[in-house]
Structure 1
Amino acid sequence: MNEHPVLSVKELSGGYSLNRPVLHDISFHVQPGEMVGLIGLNGAGKSTTMKHILGLMNPHKGEVTVKGRSRSDDAEGYHGALGFVPESPILYEEMTVREHLEFTARSYGISKENYESRAAALSGMFRMEDKMDSLSSHLSKGMRQKVMIMCAFVARPSLYIIDEPFLGLDPLGIRSLLDFMVEIKQSGASILLSSHILSTIENYCDRFIVLHQGRIVAQGSLESIAQEADTPGQPLEDIFYALTQGGSRK
């Protein structure tokens, strides 16, 4: 691709302690209109990577840019280009679903017309029409997760950071989410997706980044990481197993 990446991570090292970094010199990028799967065992560094991208942690060294901007150069532009769906839903208990969507749209400067059309489409897609005026405290965990997803998608940023979005969703919710991720990818948005459900994301992601013990042990298309793992033609689960059971390969 000749386009500049939406997300660029260069030689990033970081973690909770300067003496014990979780991430070790990781580098990768996400291009416009691309869905990239970030996969790894528990403790591999996936959430730490996302926290650095979101600006919740400061790198020990290295650089993260979104649309060519770093947080230090242009914090507002950097964060305005990001949308985030966390693993566990975080909502205001005394706000309704509709109020969450309105609040998000205003934060991103979305016009009333665009907000209304997007909110209507999302509520229908995730079968939440009859819950729009319900307080978040009255929702099930799966419905709360749907609200987080709807809030991210109502904003339509350039880059989505999505962490384990399928937890708590019913099968129809998972299918709706996957279909909509394909739709926004086709519109030019980019997605960095972390999930342990490898069989689900295998056919949706354009590329994969395999993290193991804080290092990238493989990245590329399914075919290229299969070659690196010496598992040509195998499903993603088998490729992942081969890459992570022998320790770091780089």
Structure 2
Amino acid sequence: MSKISAVIIDDEINAIDVVKAKLERYFPHVEIKGTCNQSELAISLIATVQPDLVFIDIEMPTLSGFDVIKSFVKRTFEVVFITAYDKYAINAFKENALGYILKPIDRLDFIKTVSMALVRINEKRFSDIPNFENDTSSEAKKLAVLHKGEYFFLGCHKVLYFKANGSYTHIYTEKDKFLISKNLKTLEALISNWNFIKINRSYLINPSFVQGISKKSGGEVIMSDGTNLVVSQNIKESVFDQLSKDIIFT
């Protein structure tokens, strides 16, 4: 897997050390190209290193993290803000950051945010390769999914269901789970010929992997991996009608 470069900017040296330690433990393929504890030097560090990913504190003397990022008109890197205050959340997203991580850094939040960053970075890399694009035609039967720096081609018969996660979507197969940087609505349009069924705002299921129907929670589908998924009440009748087409009830 090709390395992804990163820089860490924080006026607290111990905070830099925490981010470094977590990257080394959970994301060893992310190469830390530089660190900086003075905001006035951060701009030159980013310009010199030209990293793929920037971790930056928001409240720093002289320049804030927002000031540093705004100085790059044509940004080529992804940003994750690190802060002790959640009041900056809205501004972080206005700056098109992938997210912000609150101090003290929670392990799961860190892994989730950095994972999303790596997905976006890798997809951006592959989008620069001529003629390497997803086939978005209505006849496409495979989805190109980027995972750990490599593309996997998932056939529609391999996918159990899709789960929405904000601007991202999780893809569940019998053996693996993937994350892509497309929201569920966009994905639904791309795979309109796959005959998947939307059972609520968050799930799009493959009817071939539905093993049963439950009356729990007002109506659920039981997937082959043992997951029970709730069906929205306003579309329950339509969903169950579609699932019943190829079933003989005795």
Q: Do both share a fold (TM > 0.5)?
A: no
Compare the two structures and name the one with the higher strand fraction: 2
TM-score by length of 1: 0.30
TM-score by length of 2: 0.30
Which has the higher relative contact order, 1 or 2, with Cα contacts under 8 A spaced 6 or more apart? 1
